[in-house]
Amino acid sequence: MNYEELYGALQPLEKSLKDSAAAVTRQQKSIQKNTETGNLTEVKKSLEAIADATKTLQEGIDAVRDKIEAFDTKAYFAGGDFTKQLLESCAEKGVDVRGETGVYEMFPFKVRIIGDEEHDSEVWINRKKLPSFRPSYVAESIHADQVKLYNAKFNEQTFMSELADAYELACLKSNARIGSTQSLDKIYKFLAPTARARKDYDKQAYAFDLARLYEKGTDAWISKSGKRYYFGTSRDGKSGIRVLSSSGVESFINTLKMVMEQ
């Protein structure tokens, strides 16, 4: 199955619907004009034209409905065609994809594809449902959102200040001195300490902010207060937070320590 085939088949039917609806609108305006002037002969002609256009419109509605109902969305998802075509579209648009079995990371988004013979077919991007059965549209939406995020203004000093506060709390909680190495996962828990905070600022958003700071390079990793930030990297990618630069360079960072510059 392929949604693009359905889309192509619907195009002429949609044009027919548009033409029929436009014909009804034109005749309605004619009726309004002729009833005002008292030209009932033309009113009768317009009524007949509307009746014909309405019949054609209903035939078009039925044809579109038949095409849509014949397209089994559950089978489309359950059979894997939707996912296969989505991944192909992502590759065409340069969207980096990791994961399998219906759960994918398309940095900084988590994409879930839900669908089998017993459940409704759905696409979720983070916590938002995207009501679309068209793989190319889903890929384009993700790509557009990525571009929007990377182009958004980022105040690294504000983020670094918030990161420093959470880092110091992590040190305090573990009875460690300031300047010790702390895991980024632990720091996140202090950055977003409650369930509500983690809902508003989830791990994906945290990873994206880290990615933008990390991309700035070591020259930018010093706060206004004079603290130098040192990120530790993970080679295996299992214990680190995956970050992706705007150019697609992948890194895994897992720790942070802060040292006052001399």
pLDDT tens profile 192-246: 999 999 888 888 889 999 999 988 887 778 888 788 899 988 776 566 888 888 8
pTM: 0.79
- Beta strand 109-116 with 119-125 is antiparallel
Asked if residue 136 has pLDDT above 80, the reply is yes
**By C-alpha distance, which of 181, 188, 221 is closest to 205?**
188
**Residue 238: how many other CB atoms lie within 10 Å:** 8
Decide: helix, strand or coil at residue 112. strand
DSSP 208-252: HHHHHHHHH-GGG-B-TTSEEEEEEE-SSSSSSEEEE-TT--EEE
Helices 135-151/81-93 angle, 10° precision: 40
What value does the mean pLDDT take over residues 166-184?
Answer: 92
Residue recorded with tokens 């996962």: 185
**For the chain, how long is the longest CA-to-CA vector?**
95
User: What value does the mean pLDDT of the chain take?
Assistant: 90
The amino acid occupying position 81 is D
Specify the higher pLDDT residue, 32 or 236.
32
In contact, 117 and 70? CB cutoff 8 Å? no
In contact, 86 and 115? CB cutoff 8 Å? no
**By C-alpha distance, which of 54, 46, 66 is closest to 17?**
54
- Beta strand 98-100 with 119-125 is unpaired
The amino acid occupying position 148 is K
Residue 108, preceding peptide bond in cis (omega within 30° of 0): yes
What sign does the CA torsion over 54, 57, 63, 65 have? Answer: negative
Per-domain boundaries in the chain: 3-71, 75-148, 156-260
**By C-alpha distance, which of 177, 198, 181, 199 is closest to 189?**
198
Asked if residue 59 has pLDDT above 90, the reply is yes
